[in-house]
Structure 1
Amino acid sequence: MNSLPLFHRIDGKRVVVLGVGEAAEAKRRIIRRAGGICVSEHEAHHASLGFVVIDDDREAEAAAMRLRMKGLIVNVTDKPALCDFTVPSLIDRDPVLIAVGTGGASAGLAKMLRLRLERMLPQGLGRLASALGAARAAIRSRYPTAADRRRALDNALGEGGALDPLVEHGEGAVDRWLAGKVERPDSGVHEFTLQSGDPDDLTLRQARLLGSADYVVHDPAVPEAVLVRARADAQRIGGNEMPEIGEEEIAIVLRLPK
């Protein structure tokens, strides 16, 4: 990974766009869609982002240099080597925003991945996110500690859960979940012998449990590419020592084949 994905708020802010033609207009449309104000180079001193949509390599490089000298970070269309940042292909389920990027390697690949993912995601995903945001105080009241909240949300939002994000939910789904019985059927210890050190060989169940585990106990030789599939805040334990886990906690034990 050579880029850090970030969501940059531009609502009400000026963004410089240099260039003419359909590609430049496409950039202006997406900036306006995000609430940004498209301006010329003359107003660059008011901006922090700049887009250069110029075909000629030398002209594009010169324009990018001018904007950088004014303190902007710059994207140059179809010229990854000149870019401070790249623009991903977007799936918009406001307020859920999913970005698919390839670091400038292939916009076409990012687009096709986006189209495939679009078909998987229900239109009501944004409504679910907004309802969870509105219920933040109620969730904190029912689940007072951060650990309790995380476990409850992991269970509800997991595959087949009461708030599974890949399933269309009607109005009031979050309220119904808060009023229901709390369950975490995957709690306990789960031990797996991996097929290999390739994360693509993880089964769906292994990948799902890794994504919600509180503890990951693993052979020292299990590669980082597999371990990063776990939650970032999961406790990693290299070796055979088993932690003491709570009643509703999940521990995953990963072994490599001998």
Structure 2
Amino acid sequence: MDSFPAYFPLAGRKVVIAGTGEGADAKARLFDGSPAALVRLEDHAAFLPGSYTGAVLAFVSSADEVFAQAAARAARAAGVLVNVVDRPDMCDFNTPAVIDRGEVVAAVGTGGAAPVLATMLRSDIEAQVPEGAGRVAALMRNFQSEVRGALPTLHERRAFLREALSGEAAQAAMTGDMEKAGQLFREALARNVRKEGKVRFVAGKGPADLLTLRAVRALSAADVLVIDEAADPEVVTMARRDAHRLSPAEATPEHLIELARSGRQVVRLVAAPVEAADIQALAAAGVAVEVLLAAPNA
């Protein structure tokens, strides 16, 4: 990863755009509908650090090299991160191709190397992100405190929210009926029953494109990940990066049973045939087990 993507909250924040022309106007359009206070600088004020005080981001766009350098210098003197249009070597950050769904924002960046490619990829991804996704995210945000109170354990919250995202409340939010969505979400939270954990054995030898969709989803939902040394690195990258990791030596049947009984979703990436004795030990303890191998005839 050559560039680290980060999101800056815009509510109550100031964004400065220095310069004129299509480049400056295009940057301004990025913030249409956002809660940020947008400040445009077109004259000598762009050269004064005080013009950028309190800003979270600054964009500079000008065909005049002297203007661009002076404005960028002033913004940095005020402690503001700067993007200079069409001058990657002068940028503290690059502007990605953005998919805006309100509460849901996705971005594709190429580190300034190929913005046209980023735009093309954005179009492909945009088609997969429904218009109502932002309303679903807003629903989840509105209930954050209630969910934390009802489900104090992180893995329990994750299990509930994963189910809620495909439930009736999310569907209501997707269609725009936020009042009904809130009612359904609260009802689902009230009747939520502690979910039992599960242990899934996933083929980790690779290649990654032979994994079934079910296996991919299991990797993305794992609370605990056990990786065999010979597992394909490309398969490993498909797992949640924040999942707790155990070494194969630590992943004894007794330990996996304990984790599953506490509600964890455990994925064991295996690069060799699964030991029948391990599966039998888990099943004998009443733990749900699933073996997800490569797609048939792949």
Please tell me the TM-score bracket, short chain as reference. 0.7 to 0.9
Relative distance call for 1:124 and 1:18 in structure 2 (3 A) is same
Match of 2:118 among 101, 107, 110: 110
**2-structure distance, mates of 1:228, 1:164:** 28
Q: 1:82 aligns with which of 81, 85, 90?
A: 90
Choose which of 116, 130, 141 in structure 2 pairs with 1:122. Answer: 130
Alignment correspondent of 1:153: 161
Q: CA deviation at 1:66?
A: 4.2
Identity of aligned residues (%): 35
Pair 131,33 (structure 1): closer, same or farther in 2 beyond 3 Å: closer
Whether the aligned pair in 1 keeps the contact of 2:17 and 2:59 (CA below 8 Å) is yes
Structure 1 gaps, min length 5: none
Q: Which residue of 2 aligns with 1:252?
A: 267
Which letter does structure 2 place at the counterpart of 1:253? R
Match of 1:176 in 2: 184
User: Partner of 2:223 in structure 1?
Assistant: 214
1:193 aligns with 2:194: no
Instruction: State yes or no: 1:135 paired with 2:149.
Output: no
Amino acid at match of 1:101: G
Please tell me the residue identity of whatever aligns with 2:202.
Answer: F
**Aligned residues, how many?**
254
In the superposition, relative to structure 1, how do residues 205 and 105 fare at CA in structure 2: closer, same or farther (>3 Å)?
farther
Name the structure 2 match of 1:8: 8
- Would the aligned equivalents of 1:96 and 1:126 in 2 still touch at CA under 8 Å? yes
Q: Structure 1 stretch 74-83 or stretch 227-236: which is displaced more?
A: 227-236
Which whole-Å deviations, capped at 9, do the CAs of 1:169-201 have from their partners, x for residues lacking one?
A: 5632453354346579994211122352x5455
Contact 1:195 1:201 (8 Å CA) reproduced: no
Contact kept, 8 Å, 2:219 with 2:238, in 1: the verdict is yes
Q: 1:256 to 1:55 in 2, by over 3 A?
A: farther
Q: Deviations over 1:51-95 (max 9, x none)?
A: 121346676445433432343221111222221011122222222
- CA RMSD of superposed structures (Å): 3.2
Determine the C-alpha separation between the residues in 2 that align with 1:10 and 1:179. 32
Q: TM-score, normalised by structure 1?
A: 0.81
Cα 1:185–1:147 change in 2 (3 A) is: closer
CA spacing shift, 1:10–1:140, aligned 2, 3 Å: closer
CA distance in 2, matches of 1:249, 1:163: 24
